[in-house]
Amino acid sequence: MCNQQLFYATALTIPSRPEVFTKGYYNVSPSNDNSTRRNRSSNLEEPFDPLPDREEASTPRTPENKEPVFIAVILVVTIACVAIATSTIFFLLIKLRRQRADGMCTVTSNTDSTSLDIGTEYSDTKAVDGGTPPQSPNLYENSRLNLHLDEVIGRGRFGAVWRAELKTEDEKETTVAVKVFYEFDSTSWNVEKELFNDPALVLKHENIIRFMKAEVRQITYPQPQRQYWLISQYYPGGSLQDYLSENTVTWDEFCRMACSTAKGVAHLHADVIGEDPPMNKYPVAHRDLKSSNVLIKDDGSCVIADFGLALKLDPRASEQELANSGQVGTPRYMPPEALESKINLQNIESFKQIDVYSLSLIIWEIARRCTVLPDVPDYELPYTEQLHGCHPTIDEMRAIVAKRQERPVIPETWQGINGMSIVANTIIECWDEDPEARLTASCIATRFSQFHEWKDGEHLASPGDLHPTTII
C-alpha cells in the first residue's frame, strides 16, 4: 500500500521533472544524488521520500515494479485524450462562430488576402469553406428593412456578404448587399457605420460604394444573439479581382477602371471638394485597398468598398492618437514603411501615401490584363512571382518589398505602346520606396482621365496636339 502511494507520487511529478524519469523510476544524476538523498533522509519531518532507494532504482524489473510503466502509459493516454478533446472543442467553436454570421449557400471565388493587424504573423488566407447551413437571420424577428437574404456572395475577415432582396413600402423589390459581421467584430461594423454616417466625410461619391443603412438584428436561432448588418447597393459585376480573373480588358475598359478607382481614392483623400462653392471635408485613409475591395459598376467603372479599416484623418489628431488607431492592412498590399512599422505619424499625408502604394498594385493588376499588350497573361495577384505560397505573411512581404525592394514585374512590352509606357511610369512612381515621392491619387486620376481620347493605347491627335510626354 505504502509502495503504491510512493509510485503515485512519483508519477504525478513527471511533468515538472521529466528528465529524471526513466524506465518507470526516478533516476537522480550522480552529482546530486547523494546530497539530495542525504538531505531528505536527515529531515525526519518529511512524510515520505519521493525518491526510491538507489538499490531499488537499480533492481531488475519485477512484476510489481512494472506498475509505474503502466501508470505512465495511462498518463500519456489521458493527455492525448485531453488534447484531442480540446482541439475538437476549438474546431467546433470556430465552426459555430462562422455559422452565426453567415451561411452555406454559394461562396464566390475570393482567393486571397484578407486584412489583419500588423504585428500578427498569420497568413492572409481567406476561408471559403461552405460551412453548415445557417439560418437566414431575417427569417426570425425584428427586421427593420424588409429584407430577404438570398446567398453569400463574399466572405472576409469581418463576416460574410449576402445578396438580398429589399422590399420597399410600395412593394417594389431591389437587390442589395448585406454585410453581416461576426458578433465579436461589431467594432468593424461600428467603424464603417460611423464613417458613412459622418457628414463631415462626405462619402457619397460615384466611385465609393453606396451605403444605405446599418442595423442591429436580434436573432433567436441557432441561439439568441445579435447580428450587425451593413446594407449597401449591390454591384452585380462583383469585385475587380474576380472580374480580372475571368476577363481581359480593352484599353477603354482599363482607362475607365483605373481612372474611376483613382478618383474614388482621390475623393477619400481630399480635404476640399467641389469648386462652386468649394466645400471642406475630412480626408479619409482607406488602409485596405486591394482588388477584392473594389467593385465594378454596370458601366464598367469602379467603386471603393469595405471601409472596415478606414480612418478619419483629423489634422488635429495627435501622433499618439494616430499610432493608437493601429497599423493595419493586408500584407500583400502594404508598402515598405507599413511592413517595417516606420510610418511617419507626424503627418497625416503618410496614410494617403500608403493608400497610393496599394492603388499602384491595383492599377498594375488591371493593366496586366489589357488587350493592347501583345501577350495577355493570366490574372495574377501582385507579387505572385516572388512568393512561393498564396498567402504571404508580413515577414515574407517585408523581405521582398522592404529588404530586397522588389516590386511586381512590368514586362518590356509595355514600353512599346505609348499609353502603356505612361501607365508603367505612373505605377513605378506610385510604388516608390520613398512615400513622399509617390504621386497623389488625384494626380493619377487626372493623368488617366486624359487617356479616354486615346485609341488602343495610342494617342490619335494630329501633330501639335497633346504629346504623351506633356501629360501631367
Ligand X SMILES: Nc1ncnc2c1ncn2[C@@H]1O[C@H](COP(=O)(O)OP(=O)(O)OP(=O)(O)O)[C@@H](O)[C@H]1O
Measured from the CB atom, the residue of 126 and 407 that comes closer to Mg ion is 126
341's CB contacts (< 8 A; 6+ apart) are: 118, 327
- The C-alpha cell 505612361 sits at 422
User: Helix (H, G, I), strand (E, B), or coil: what is residue 141?
Assistant: coil
335 belongs to the binding site for ligand X (CB under 6 A): no
308 belongs to the binding site for ligand X (CB under 6 A): yes
Residue 322 CA, distance from chain mean position: 20
Catalytic residue among 112, 124, 288, 306: 288
Between strands 225-233 and 272-273, the pairing is: unpaired
Q: For 285, phi and psi rounded to 5 degrees?
A: -100, 135
Question: What's the min distance (Å) between Cβ of 203 and ligand X?
Answer: 14
Between strands 25-26 and 225-233, the pairing is: unpaired
Contacts of Mg ion in 281-310 (CB under 5 A) = 293, 306
232 belongs to the binding site for ligand X (CB under 6 A): yes
Q: Which stretch binds ligand X (CB under 6 A): 30-38, 69-77, 153-161, 361-369?
A: 153-161
Looking at 98, 100, 157, 368, which residue binds ligand X (CB under 6 A)? 157
Spatial distance between the Cα atoms of 7 and 427, rounded to a whole number of angstroms: 72
- The binding site for ATP consists of 179
392 belongs to the binding site for Mg ion (CB under 5 A): no
Q: How many CB atoms lie within 10 A of CB 389?
A: 9
- Contact criterion met (CB below 8 Å) for 242 and 109: yes
Measured from the CB atom, the residue of 129 and 271 that comes closer to ligand X is 129
Spatial distance between the Cα atoms of 424 and 412, rounded to a whole number of angstroms: 10
Q: Which stretch binds ligand X (CB under 6 A): 68-76, 89-97, 232-240, 244-252?
A: 232-240
381 belongs to the binding site for ligand X (CB under 6 A): no
Measured from the CB atom, the residue of 24 and 154 that comes closer to ligand X is 154
Task: Lay out the site mask for ligand X across 271-290 (x = CB under 6 A, - = otherwise).
Answer: -----------------x--
Question: What's the min distance (Å) between Cβ of 96 and ligand X?
Answer: 18
Question: What's the min distance (Å) between Cβ of 109 and ligand X?
Answer: 9
Residues touching ligand X, count (CB under 6 A): 29
Measured from the CB atom, the residue of 149 and 345 that comes closer to ligand X is 149
Q: For 368, phi and psi rounded to 5 degrees?
A: -60, -25
Indicate the residue whose CB is closest to Mg ion: 306
Spatial distance between the Cα atoms of 101 and 82, rounded to a whole number of angstroms: 29
Question: Is 288 marked active-site?
Answer: yes
Alpha-carbon dihedral 449, 450, 454, 458, rounded to 10 degrees: -110
Measured from the CB atom, the residue of 290 and 447 that comes closer to ligand X is 290
47's CB contacts (< 8 A; 6+ apart) are: none
Q: Which does 232 bind (CB under 5 to 8 A by kind): Mg ion, ligand X, none?
A: ligand X
Contacts of Mg ion in 130-159 (CB under 5 A) = 156
179 belongs to the binding site for ligand X (CB under 6 A): yes
Question: What's the min distance (Å) between Cβ of 366 and ligand X?
Answer: 16
The one-letter amino acid code at 320 reads Q
Question: What's the min distance (Å) between Cβ of 239 and Mg ion?
Answer: 8
124 belongs to the binding site for Mg ion (CB under 5 A): no
Question: What's the min distance (Å) between Cβ of 161 and Mg ion?
Answer: 8
Measured from the CB atom, the residue of 232 and 260 that comes closer to ligand X is 232
Looking at 10, 65, 115, 207, which residue binds ligand X (CB under 6 A)? 115
Alpha-carbon Rg for the chain in angstroms: 31
Q: For 333, phi and psi rounded to 5 degrees?
A: -105, 10
* Complete DSSP assignment for 297-344: -TTS-EEE---TT-EE--TT--HHHHHHT--EE-GGG--HHHHTT---
292 belongs to the binding site for ligand X (CB under 6 A): yes
DSSP state of 196: H
The dihedral through the CA atoms of 381, 365, 155, 215 has a sign that is positive
**CA-closest candidate to residue 104, choices 140, 129, 141, 126:** 129
Measured from the CB atom, the residue of 126 and 281 that comes closer to Mg ion is 126
How many residues can be counted in the chain? 472
Question: What's the min distance (Å) between Cβ of 154 and ligand X?
Answer: 2
- Contact criterion met (CB below 8 Å) for 196 and 211: yes
Counting Cβ atoms within 10 Å, is residue 394 exposed (0-12), middle (13-18) or buried (19+)?
buried
103 belongs to the binding site for ligand X (CB under 6 A): no
Question: What's the min distance (Å) between Cβ of 384 and Mg ion?
Answer: 19
- The binding site consists of 179
Between strands 294-296 and 302-304, the pairing is: antiparallel
Residues touching Mg ion, count (CB under 5 A): 3
Measured from the CB atom, the residue of 293 and 301 that comes closer to ligand X is 293
Looking at 7, 234, 364, 454, which residue binds ligand X (CB under 6 A)? 234
Residues that bind ligand X (CB under 6 A): 108, 110, 114-115, 126, 153-154, 156-159, 161, 177, 179, 209, 232-235, 238-239, 242, 288, 292-293, 295, 305-306, 308
Residues that bind Mg ion (CB under 5 A): 156, 293, 306
Could you list the active site residues? 288
